């Protein structure tokens, strides 16, 4: 059996060499279809992996009070909501008393800060966040060196800071950053902690970050209309809905909204945000299958056409084989093997280049790459189906040729 397959493969490769141009074009069409499928699925897989790990770090039992409900941003009419100002954020933290929850307040002071240490300085690309002592915990940030902020730091406006891993590498490299003094906007801060590396999300650096106490940030960065972030963590995810309902009621009371008035802020669950993004990626994945299906359908037709032409051109050869005792199954297997060889050459090239392109795009966008096993399996199955669809009819047609008529064919 193995010997017969080997012989059929040798004959198939010999036949391919005699019609090399048509074979190359067919292989390219198959490869492009598989490439489109594998490349898009590789990128989607990398994005999913990156997002899932980022949101998992934040925790599925966290929700935020935001200026807008981002799940409704696609509606036709989007009303303008007021910002969440500091008195509102502070009032919520003081009055929200759902059991076992922790509430944090923070705001992004700037994303273009320049940070200095002795004679070294960064580009103006550091994000400065004014935060309280619960911020890192609620955001899923781990302090790997030193310590987190404590209530004393926040209440006494201590000039201390926590730095991201990229900022640490930029300013300190191999030396210990703890208790060193850095400056931003002329103010000096003592480094008390270094954050664990988080990578990038959609090209945005998560580790070029500087955390300073909330009130210090408010005095140093006194921009108008600052929008504050409120994050709430609850230890038991089963109580999430009740905690969100109470948070909504509390925030409506703080904003003095009447029962007839619409809620003018958003409540965003970390897991619902992830699900929304994954849903959009699933749509992209379906698009990849549609594009690939159209391309692969074209390649199937092209492959069937080249095999039918091959049967016609080799009619006399088929007659000779049959007159020498070749059975129908032998002839059919020979032509089907030829179809398989062409199809799998195209599939192999499509998988290799698809993964390379997907990897390059993911790397350029700084997503976490993961081997796209599902894309590879899908590509192999698709390639095999193309071979079956394209090869069966020409193989059966070749096997049914009358040997006498085939020998007369010119």
Tell which residue, 404, 405, 300, 303, has the closest CA to residue 12: 303
Tokens of 329: 């199954």
> Cβ neighbours of residue 151 under 8 Å, at least 6 residues apart?
133
Tell which residue, 20, 21, 24, 95, has the closest CA to residue 65: 95
- φ, ψ for residue 80, nearest 5 deg: -85, 115
Mean pLDDT of 166-173: 90
Give residue 409's pLDDT band: very low, low, confident or very high (50, 70, 90).
low
Q: What is the dihedral of CA 167, 173, 177, 180, to 10 degrees?
A: -90
Cβ atoms of 134 and 117 within 8 Å: the answer is no
The span from the CA of 112 to the CA of 123, in Å, is: 8
Max mean pLDDT among 203-207, 261-265, 324-328 falls in 261-265
Max mean pLDDT among 36-50, 179-193, 303-317 falls in 179-193
Average pLDDT, the chain: 81
pLDDT tens sequence across 53-88: 666 555 557 889 998 876 555 444 567 889 999 999
pLDDT tens sequence across 246-256: 999 999 999 99
In the chain, how long is the greatest CA-to-CA distance?
103
The span from the CA of 12 to the CA of 336, in Å, is: 9
Mean pLDDT of 384-391: 80
Residue of higher predicted confidence among 76 and 217: 217
Residues in the chain: 410
Cβ atoms of 207 and 199 within 8 Å: the answer is yes
Mean pLDDT of 270-298: 72
β-bridge partners, 120: 117
pLDDT at residue 359 in the model? 79
Mean pLDDT of 280-295: 74
pLDDT at residue 345 in the model? 85
Cβ neighbour number for residue 132 with a 10 Å cutoff = 22
Helix intervals (H) in 182-323: 214-220, 240-254, 270-313, 315-323
Give residue 380's pLDDT band: very low, low, confident or very high (50, 70, 90).
confident
Which of 116-120, 137-141, 263-267, 301-305 is predicted least confidently?
A: 301-305
pLDDT at residue 77 in the model? 52
Give residue 201's pLDDT band: very low, low, confident or very high (50, 70, 90).
low
pLDDT at residue 245 in the model? 92
Tokens of 69: 């409900």
Give residue 296's pLDDT band: very low, low, confident or very high (50, 70, 90).
confident
Asked if the model's pLDDT at residue 232 lies above 60, the reply is yes
Structural domain boundaries in the chain:
2-54+275-408, 61-269
Angle made by CA atoms 401, 405, 410, in degrees to the nearest 5: 105
pLDDT tens sequence across 5-44: 666 667 666 666 767 777 787 788 788 878 877 887 777 7
Tell which residue, 387, 298, 350, 386, has the closest CA to residue 40: 350
Q: Is the pTM of this model over 0.85?
A: no
The span from the CA of 366 to the CA of 354, in Å, is: 18
β-bridge partners, 359: none
pLDDT at residue 76 in the model? 45
Structure letter (DSSP) for residue 206? S
């Amino acid at each position: 059996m193995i010997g017969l397959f080997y012989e059929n493969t040798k004959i198939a490769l010999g036949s391919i060499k005699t019609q090399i141009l048509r074979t190359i074009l067919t292989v390219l069409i198959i490869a492009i279809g598989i490439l489109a499928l594998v490349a898009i699925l590789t990128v989607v897989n990398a994005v999913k992996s990156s997002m899932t790990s980022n949101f998992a770090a934040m925790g599925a039992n966290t929700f935020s009070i935001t200026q807008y409900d981002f799940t409704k941003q696609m509606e036709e009419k989007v009303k303008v909501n007021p910002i969440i100002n500091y008195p509102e954020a502070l009032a919520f933290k003081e009055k929200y008393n759902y059991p076992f929850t922790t509430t944090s307040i923070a705001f992004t002071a700037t994303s273009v800060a320049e940070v200095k240490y002795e004679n070294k300085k960064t580009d103006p690309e550091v994000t400065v966040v004014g935060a309280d002592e619960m911020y890192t915990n609620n955001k899923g940030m781990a302090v790997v060196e030193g310590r987190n902020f404590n209530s004393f730091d926040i209440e006494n406006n201590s000039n201390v800071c926590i730095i991201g891993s990229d900022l640490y590498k930029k300013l300190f490299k191999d030396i210990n950053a703890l208790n060193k003094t850095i400056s931003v906007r002329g103010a000096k801060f003592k480094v008390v902690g270094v954050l664990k590396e988080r990578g990038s999300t959609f090209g945005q650096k998560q580790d070029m970050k500087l955390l300073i106490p909330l009130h210090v940030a408010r005095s140093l960065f006194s921009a108008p209309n600052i929008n504050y972030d409120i994050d709430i963590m609850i230890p038991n995810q089963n109580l999430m809905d009740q905690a969100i309902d109470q948070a909504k009621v509390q925030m409506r009371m703080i904003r003095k909204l009447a029962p007839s008035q619409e809620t003018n802020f958003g409540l965003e669950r970390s897991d619902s945000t992830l699900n929304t993004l994954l849903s959009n990626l699933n749509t992209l994945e379906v698009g990849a299958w549609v594009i690939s299906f159209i391309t692969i359908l074209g390649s199937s037709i092209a492959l069937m056409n080249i095999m039918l032409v091959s049967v016609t051109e080799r009619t006399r050869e088929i007659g000779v084989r049959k007159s020498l005792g070749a059975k129908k199954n032998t002839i059919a297997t020979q032509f089907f093997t030829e179809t398989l060889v062409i199809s799998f050459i195209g599939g192999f090239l499509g998988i290799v280049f698809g993964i390379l392109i997907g990897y390059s795009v993911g790397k350029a966008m700084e997503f976490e790459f993961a081997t796209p096993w599902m894309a590879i399996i899908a590509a192999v199955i698709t390639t095999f189906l193309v071979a079956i669809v394209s090869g069966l009819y020409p193989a059966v047609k070749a096997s049914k040729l009358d040997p006498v008529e085939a020998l007369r064919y010119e």
